[in-house]
Structure 1
Amino acid sequence: MVEIVEPISQKQGKSEKENAASDSDPIQDGEERKQLVKENLAKDSPEYKTEEEKEGEEKQPEGSEAQNRLGDILERIQGLIRTYIKLPSEELAMLVAIWVAGTYCYKQFQYYGYLSIRSATPRCGKSQLLKMISLLSAENPPVTSFPTAAVLYRNPRKILIMDEVDQLRDQDKETFGAVLSVLNAGFERGAVIERLEKGKGDKFEVKAFEVFGPKAFAGIERLADTLADRTFAIVLKRVSDRMPRFRADRLMEEIIEIRELLSLWVDEHEAAVISTYANLPTTLEVLKGFDDRFQDIAEPLCTLAMLADQERPEGPSILSRLATSLIASIVRREPTGREGAFQFFLDLVEPIISRRPYKEEDTGMRFISTQHLLQKCQEHPDLSWIESGAALAGLLRRFDLTPINTGHERGYRLTRQWYGEWRNRYPKQLIDVTESKQHDEKEELPQFMNC
């Protein structure tokens, strides 16, 4: 009998997976291969995202981009300040908020004004507000007290927050003058302080220290004239209502988040900041009526406010609130020291200047004797400290007015043009002087703080 042996199956020895594949529909198999090729090609694309990344995008809340709009961040800072600090004008909180935001991009501006926080009495919230500014500003600068000139110009950190700066008036004149020179120069980009540094051997080399950077300071006394001209002033008053206690440790999560959002916003909009600032008109509409120096320091803040409004056209407007706060800050830029005395002097000579007829009608010039001016000063309660010709000359020479000798008597030639120029610079409505201080006629350096 012949045994019939069946042919060995081709499937024998193959895996179930391979056998299943061989049994599959050839058309379906071809489609799967095409799909596999597409997926592999897609992975090489820069737009390719994994399932985890897609899932993360789906979980991201709607409108998340709006959370990093500058206007929204400024509103958060403003709300934080208003919660713990009672300001004389609520709009000033927006000025502080924008100033803080500017510390993250101040290097893009030609000027950056200082922030001065003052009060007539202690315990008005100066140090507390200064602490909040310190925590929210770029680099989280510490609050320092009684800084020396070397600290100001050798410090690699250019964002400086200083408390109790009125103590600087107690320094000797040489140290005091050095501190004032640093502060007077540090509001403008490119400003340097040069010092002799010991080099190799016995040789000395000139070394330049950059001093440009945002600076905020608090004190009880008034600012010197030149320094006040570079600042936004906030004058706090003690209030009967008790404000909530500011506990920085309990707010650190929010503060850190605000700092991160500001840093991220500046990184994303640096080009827009530079372009907007560079293309500002000669005089912004909201800054008309302010002097040139004030416009210089206000333009960076206006730049940020304009960008914030562009991102958030639905409002409320940041720029309009900034404009209101700028008016509030300049009204409180009380002329002090020589500047305050000069304001009273302009008031004193106004009727004399406007009196007619003039001896020299063509030029509008009028000669006033030193003796006559001293008599008028003695009758004025805020100028009675001017008791000699030297004291009068010491005040007026700072404002382009020097005495002359006619051969018969010494005095001053006042013109309508001179009066008009200085009156425009010190208009009555922008100056709110509540008190005047006596001055030492022998004083050689302007005071940082006047007693």
Structure 2
Amino acid sequence: MGTYDIEPSTLDGAALLDSLRTALTRYVALPNPETADAIALWIAATHAQPAWAHAPRLVIRAPEKRCGKSRLLDIVEATCHNPFITVNSSPAAVYRSVSEDPPTLLVDEADTIFGPKADGNEDLRGLLNAGHQRNRPAKRYDATNQRVESIPTFAMAALAGIGAMPDTIEDRAVIARMRRRAPGETVAPYRHRRDRPALRLLADNLHAWLRADLSTLETAEPEMPVEDRAADTWEPLIAVADHAGGTWSDRSRTAVLALTAAADEDNDSNDRQRLLTDCRTAFGDELALPTAELLHRLRALDESPWREYGATGLTAMKLGSLLKEYGIRSDTMRFPGAGQAKGYRRADFADSWERYCADPPAKRDGDEATGGAIPLRRARSA
């Protein structure tokens, strides 16, 4: 960023973070308050990168398309420090742009870097993997000068994509799990020409506030609610929150615990969406089903992929893993006539069915939505 006519002593850090969070939630439907707080702190931390020993990644992931991940990346671009969009940039150009005061790397459609279409992006993958920690330069041989060069890799980066990123990225990341907006959820439309200037002014103020105290931030040792690599990743955000004061110190630690506790397990997005739709069919009119019965009904569906899903078909463990991304988990319940067993409640699927599944076809007289399985009596919670 350039030089701006801003007096840092007049800036209120907590108020700036509040304004940033308000901007995020104005334009993007975020899954929970903790995610909004974490993203605001991550953006603010990009303005003080020279102070940090680690450069946390921001992973913006969604189970399906149209979940707001690209719009969130737009807001990050407008408010972070020196955004560098890597689309159509050669690895050499990206490497040469990383300096002692690095830009913030932004990667949309991250499957072009890590997914099945990732051939030819080894250098960029290496930069994103190595750049989390300071003093991890890339070594390149300069044939013209016949010498080995050390190229800096340290830079904060935001990556948006469908599904999980590799463990090497997510283990070093603040993860925003996006979801499709429900019919009643609304956000303001974002227009680059109209809305970005005000957001860049906010970025200028964040920059002036944090750059005035880089030496303080560099020596900060905030009390962390997590340890090891998670502490390395979240320390810059906690340091910014403590520097701002107000409610941000407590909120930042609440966000750490909430987001680090969230499940990382993921699988192919098409399988997940198909499973959601098939679970709706399998439930029929039931309020709850034992896991074993749900698996039986899924495998019995016409043209079902679940009979041959893996070596032994869809298992209870894999079912739980696929549904966990949507926040759907099994519970121990008492089923009349069947005793106590693990199972799923219909109510826990309702939100995801509304967000991700097409409307079910209208039933004809005599049709059953149980896939040929014998209907269970409705279950009640233990």
- TM-score range, shorter-chain basis? 0.5 to 0.7
CA shift for structure 1 position 381: 2.4
Aligned to 1:299: 235
Task: Rate the CA distance shift 1:188–1:222 in 2: closer, same or farther, 3 A.
Answer: same
The structure-2 alpha-carbon separation of the partners of 1:332 and 1:269, relative to structure 1 and needing over 3 Å to count, comes to: same
- Residue 170 (structure 2) aligned to one of 221, 225, 228: 228
* SS of structure 2 residue aligned to 1:194: strand
From 135, 139, 142, the equivalent of 1:190 is: 135
Corresponding residue number in structure 1 for 2:295: none
SS of the aligned residue for 2:43 comes to helix
1:250 is matched with 194
1:19 matched residue in structure 2? none
Deviates more, 1:265-274 or 1:215-224: 265-274
TM-score (norm. length: structure 2) = 0.64
Determine the C-alpha separation between the residues in 1 that align with 2:212 and 2:325: 44
**3-state SS of paired residue (2:244):** helix
Give the structure 1 partner of residue 150 of structure 2: 208
Give the unaligned 5+ runs of structure 1.
1-63, 310-314, 338-375, 385-427, 436-451
Matched residue SS, 2:65: coil
Provide the secondary structure at the position in 2 that maps to 1:222: coil
Change (3 A) 1:331 1:149: farther
Could you state the TM-score of these two structures normalised by the residue count of structure 1? 0.54
Tell me which residue corresponds to 1:381: 315
Give the number of aligned pairs.
270
Aligned pairs (5 A) from 1:240-279: 240=183, 241-275=185-219, 277=220, 279=221
Amino acid at match of 2:257: I
Answering whether residue 15 of structure 2 is matched by residue 79 of structure 1, we say: no
Mark the CA change 1:191 to 1:319 in structure 2 (over 3 Å): closer, same or farther: same
Distance 2:242 2:167 in 1: 30
Q: CA deviation at 1:99?
A: 1.1
Q: Is the 8 A contact 2:86 2:94 kept in 1?
A: no
Cα offset, 1:101, TM superposition = 1.2
In structure 1, distance between residues paired with 2:58 and 2:259: 10
Is residue 228–residue 333 contact of structure 1 (8 Å, CA) maintained in 2?
A: no
Alignment partners' CA distance in 1, 2:12 and 2:263:
32
Q: CA offset at residue 111 of structure 1?
A: 0.7
C-alpha contact 2:241 2:248 (8 A) present in aligned 1 = yes
Offset from partner CA, 1:129-188 (integer Å, 9 cap, x none): 10111111112x143336554344233453211100112223465x34433322111011
2:363 maps to none
Give 1:2-401 correspondences, 5 Å limit.
68-139=11-82, 141-145=83-87, 149-156=91-98, 158-168=103-113, 169-171=115-117, 175-200=120-145, 204-239=146-181, 240=183, 241-275=185-219, 277=220, 279-280=221-222, 284=223, 286-287=224-225, 290-309=226-245, 315=246, 317-332=247-262, 334-336=264-266, 378=312, 381=315
Residues 204-213 or 141-150, more deviating: 141-150
2:368 matched residue in structure 1: none
The structure with more radius of gyration? 1
Whether the 8 Å contact between 1:158 and 1:211 is mirrored in structure 2 is no
Q: Distance in 2 between matches of 1:113 and 1:65?
A: 25
Query: Higher helix share goes to which structure?
Result: 1
What is the distance in 2 between the residues matched to 1:243 and 1:434?
21
User: Secondary structure in 2 aligned to 1:160?
Assistant: strand
Q: One-letter code of the match for 1:178?
A: D
CA–CA separation in structure 1 for the residues paired with 2:87 and 2:263: 23
Which residue is 2:356 aligned to? none
Partner of residue 24, structure 1: none
C-alpha distance in 1 between matches for 2:162 and 2:191: 23
Q: In structure 2, list runs of 5 or more residues that go unmatched.
A: 1-6, 268-309, 328-382
Verify the 8 A CA contact 2:129 2:169 in the aligned structure 1.
yes
Deviations 1:387-421 (A, max 9, x none): xxxxxxxxxxxxxxxxxxxxxxxxxxxxxxxxxxx
| Structure 2 CA distance for aligned equivalents of residues 172 and 306 of structure 1 | 39
**Once the 2 structures are TM-superposed, how far is the Cα of residue 97 of structure 1 from its aligned partner?**
1.3
Report how far residue 123 of structure 1 moved: 1.4
Structure 2: which amino acid aligns with 1:297?
T
1:260-284 deviations in whole A, cap 9, x for unaligned?
2112212322232123x2x44xxx2
Quick one: structure 1 residues 378 and 291, their matched pair in 2 at CA, closer, same or farther if it must change by over 3 Å?
A: farther
8 Å contact 1:82–1:93 — kept in the other structure?
yes
Q: Whole-Å Cα distance in 1 between the matches of residues 207 and 218 of structure 2? A: 16
Query: Could you say if the C-alpha distance between residues 336 and 191 of structure 1 is closer, same or farther in structure 2, counting changes exceeding 3 Å?
Result: farther
Alignment check: 8 A CA contact 1:332 1:432 kept: no
Corresponding residue SS for 1:116: strand
Q: How far does the alpha carbon of each residue in 1:218-257 deviate from its partner, in whole angstroms, 9 at most, with x for none? A: 0113111111101111011111223221123222442232
C-alpha contact 1:74 1:97 (8 A) present in aligned 2:
yes
- Distance in 1 (alpha carbons) for counterparts of 2:90 and 2:116: 12
The alpha carbon displacement at 1:117 in A equals: 0.4
Distance in 2 of aligned mates of 1:105 and 1:147: 25
1:182 counterpart letter in structure 2 = L
What SS does the corresponding residue of 1:232 show, helix, strand or coil? strand
Query: Percent of aligned pairs with the same residue?
Result: 23
CA contact (8 A) 1:111 1:187 kept: yes
Does the 8 Å contact 1:158/1:213 carry over to 2?
A: yes
Relative distance call for 1:383 and 1:152 in structure 2 (3 A) is farther
